[in-house]
Chain A
Amino acid sequence: MTVKQISVFLENKPGKLAEFTDVLSDNKIDMRALSLAEAADFGIARVIVDDVYNASTILKDAGYVFSMTKVVAAVIPDEPGGLSHVIKTLGDSGVNIEYMYAFTTPKKGTACMILRVEDVAKAIEVLQKEGIRQVEQEELTEL
């Protein structure tokens, strides 16, 4: 019940992000979500794409340093309090969130939270128990 996030090392220089997104677009890879974390001289672009296996091959060929991480993708209702429910559930169960970001889905009224947690198995379990739906890898292709 997880999806794979691709994290890419990028130098903190003008044009580096555009180079990266060009590589994806030239190869017809569609991004579902993108989040950037930055240090002084470098940044990490974290992306969720429609075709993770194809994307990884392409990035490898293009010479990028990247890693693949299992993340939880929780579907939340696009309304006040929707997010609180998810993070409270995790917090109450002692699951620590390292970082997270969101994207909306074409399905009206729902959003998807990407959650990077320490204990993935436990996160999946407690979210399921609370009836919070999680997106799977295959679904990303069809979105």
Chain B
Amino acid sequence: MERYYQPEIECASLDQIRELQSKRLVKQVQNVWEHVPMYRKKMEEQGVEPGDIQSVDDLHKLPFVTKDDLREVYPYGLLARPLSDCVRIQSTSGTTGRRVVAFYTQHDIDLWEDCCARAIVAVGGTKEDVCHVSYGYGLFTGGAGLNGGSHKVGCLTLPMSSGNTDRQIQFMTDLGSTILCCTPSYAAYLAECICERGVRDQIKLKAGIFGAEAWTEEMRRDIEDKLGIKAYDIYGLTEISGPGVAFECSAQSGMHVNEDHFIPEIINPKTGEVLPDGEKGELVFTCISKEAFPLMRYRTRDIGILSREKCSCGRTHVKMTKPLGRSDDMLIVKGVNVFPSQIETVLMNKGYPANYQIIVDRVNHSDTIEIQVEMTAEMFSDSLSAVAAKEKELVDALKAMLGIYAKVKLVNPKTITRSEGKAVRVIDKRNLYQQ
């Protein structure tokens, strides 16, 4: 039998949901109008006043917020509460110039953890479970979110964080972990290690909650087969709260958006026009319950489709597909957001030509990123160690900028294809966004 963490809202009728959304939206619009100068300015520019927003039907009248807006007013510009009311920050994967710092009041943490608790219960979690959280802990929202959700459900929580695979497997076998939470690529890696060591019969896992990066149905089946579990998707972003903005249920066919807190819309990324359910476009979220950092009509740049088809699990919240792509050039590599422009900045700073190519691939379910750079006479010398030192300097600078290791490959001049018009900077061989 399907179980729910908060059945009254997770299975509410569409009318009830809309009524709740409208009530919260009206209040939130008034709140940001009064407390966030940037929202007031944006609304005034658009000719909208709080009085124009009477229900969710008026949502489309509000201006959008973009990542550039966040950067412009970093760090405090979007705070809707005094800093003294905030108890926590979380941040996106430390990328210079693009970093997002999100603020939370205790109320915000509670509702975020509720969302994660819904996801855990949806995969069959109860207080009898041992929830093994191998998302990174720290500024990254993965560890904190699932950790909190696991507490709310009453699971025995193992705050493993990422890495140290030997220890992960040891705890899994010794303490009988039943639910695994981590990125899908790490789950695949763990599955492989468990099979290689022949300890699969010693693990008690039954379900996994895997998110923070794109993964395919093949990868899902592979992890499920290797670990003998059900693998579920979870979606979220730091700007909106973290994991748990949407989560998969037993139907494993799309993720229910926690729309009592986050109203999703699909828009045409070029025109900003709202598209009807079933059409593909950019996902936009409006935070109607959050206090400290309530983003309104935030453009995620993730491409997806919303569906209100009746779900076999009994939940009534709208479902979104896995992200089907991006409407900007952002890459997600090892769960970290990477913009080609960041790589370009490093190359320019280090005196390399701006002609480069980024090759992203997935080897053994793990992302790799290689940056091909053309060698120049200035960088070159007859000494191998001198050239290697220059190469290492570049690798280190990229690591500092991106937060992940990127392989640098020096190539002969003029070997990177010059395309006519827009350069092809990124070759993503992963094929993650299947339709």
Contacts and interface: CB of A to CB of B under 8 A. Distances in A.
A56 to B, nearest CB: 11
Contacts of A67: 377, 380-382
Contacts of B384: 37-39, 44
A41 interface: yes
A76 B410 CA distance: 37
Interface in A41-98: 41-42, 44, 46, 63-67, 69, 98
B410 A64 contact: no
- Chain B binding surface, main DSSP class: loop
Contact of A65 (B383, B391, B412): B412
A6 to B, nearest CB: 9
Nearest to B415: A11
Nearest to B384: A37
B409 to A, nearest CB: 5
Nearest to A44: B384
Given A42-B410, A63-B414, A7 B377 contact: no
B289 to A, nearest CB: 51
Nearest to A10: B412
A39 B376 CA distance: 17
B7 interface: no
A95 to B, nearest CB: 16
Contact of B409 (A16, A41, A46): A41
A9 interface: yes
B382 A65 contact: no
A98 B414 CA distance: 31
B375 interface: yes
A65 B414 CA distance: 11
Nearest to A37: B384
B409 A116 contact: no
- Give the bracket for the number of chain A residues in contact with chain B: 20 to 34
A7 B382 contact: yes
B411 interface: yes
A11 B412 contact: yes
A65 B381 contact: no
A105 B409 CA distance: 38
Given A65-B375, A65-B376, A9 B388 contact: no
A64 B412 contact: yes
B383 A63 contact: no
Contacts of B409: 41
A98 B376 CA distance: 23
Interface string B377-410: 1011111100110010000000000000000011
A63 B413 contact: yes
Contacts of B381: 7, 67
Most A CB contacts (10 A, CB to CB) among B381, B382, B384, B391 go to B382
A12 B391 CA distance: 15
A5 B381 CA distance: 11
Contacts of A7: 380-382
A9 B413 CA distance: 10
A143 to B, nearest CB: 22
A100 to B, nearest CB: 12
Contacts of A63: 412-414
B412 A46 contact: no
Interface string A1-19: 0000101011100001000
Given A9-B380, A65-B380, 17 more contacts: A7-B381, A9-B410, A11-B410, A11-B411, A11-B412, A39-B387, A39-B388, A39-B391, A42-B375, A44-B384, A63-B414, A64-B412, A64-B413, A66-B380, A67-B377, A67-B380, A98-B383
Sorted from nearest, which 5 A-B pairs have the closest CB atoms? A7-B382, A37-B384, A69-B382, A65-B375, A9-B375
Interface of A: 5, 7, 9-11, 16, 37-39, 41-42, 44, 46, 63-67, 69, 98, 116
22 contacts: A5-B382, A7-B380, A7-B381, A9-B387, A11-B412, A16-B412, A37-B384, A38-B384, A39-B384, A39-B388, A41-B409, A41-B410, A42-B375, A44-B382, A44-B387, A63-B413, A64-B412, A65-B375, A65-B377, A65-B412, A66-B380, A67-B381
